[in-house]
A and B are shown apart, each in its own frame.
Chain A
Amino acid sequence: DTGVSQDPRHKITKRGQNVTFRCDPISEHNRLYWYRQTLGQGPEFLTYFQNEAQLEKSRLLSDRFSAERPKGSFSTLEIQRTEQGDSAMYLCASSFGTTGDEQFFGPGTRLTVL
């Protein structure tokens, strides 16, 4: 499968714990995005990488959230001291170059904070 992959697919954690999610984009795609989606809502933008550079962060991304893309390939999203309000589907998407209008989404990581 050469699409966007995410790991894990599901994560259940207790409030206050740290969690880390991984995204592997389509190999030739230089742009990578993280979104969060809650029930009944469309995906909301969290952060964006072009190659290894994190160029933008949404104000939705509090100080407890950090994302990296160290070699311009896979990316990680870490949430520290999780809260129940962090429960959501975390989606990763990638696109290519200057014409990257079509973003290809991974299957998402569903986070449940108890």
Chain B
Amino acid sequence: RKEVEQDPGPFNVPEGATVAFNCTYSNSASQSFFWYRQDCRKEPKLLMSVYSSGNEDGRFTAQLNRASQYISLLIRDSKLSDSATYLCVVLAEFMDTGRRALTFGSGTRLQVQP
């Protein structure tokens, strides 16, 4: 079982649609959670952190359920420019080395169509 699991998609949605991505993680000691965005053949870039209370950044809303080890990302009013791969990422700290290790899911591909 992968440490971080995502539906690979692709999700094909029309402009203006609302789309939701889900992610589950297996390491209960994970401390921090993120969504990264990766455009085709580009590097990953931080989209937003995910907090236990849920958080919103414009059209994007992230939720975390620690009990179920589940993370979600909701995108409202999809734009063509939202087309990308969305990577679910969890962070755990290894006390012996101090490494703050990011573990990435395989990503969910979103294609917003005109």
A positions within 8 Å CB-CB of B: 31, 33, 40-45, 48, 50, 55-56, 91, 95, 100-108, 110
> What are 19 pairs between A and B in contact, CB < 8 Å?
A40-B8, A40-B107, A41-B106, A42-B87, A42-B89, A42-B104, A42-B106, A43-B102, A48-B97, A56-B94, A56-B99, A100-B100, A101-B34, A101-B91, A102-B34, A103-B46, A103-B102, A105-B43, A110-B41
Report the tally of A-B residue pairs with Cβ distances under 8 A. Answer: 54
Let me know if A43 and B106 touch, CB within 8 A.
no
Interface residues of B in 79-99 (CB under 8 A from A): 87, 89, 91, 94, 97-99
- Count of B interface residues, CB-CB < 8 Å: 26
B20-46 interface mask toward A, CB cutoff 8 Å, 1 = contact, 0 = none? Answer: 000000000000101000000111111
Closest Cβ neighbor of A48 among chain B residues = B99
- When chains A and B are docked, how far (Å) is the Cα of A105 from the Cα of B36? 11
CB neighbours (8 Å) of A101 from chain B are 32, 34, 49, 91, 100
Closest residue of chain B to A92 (Cβ to Cβ) is B43
Closest residue of chain A to B89 (Cβ to Cβ) is A42
Closest Cβ of chain B to A46, distance in Å, is 11
Q: Nearest residue in A to B49 (C-beta to C-beta)?
A: A101
Q: Is A102 a contact of B97 with CB atoms below 8 Å?
A: no
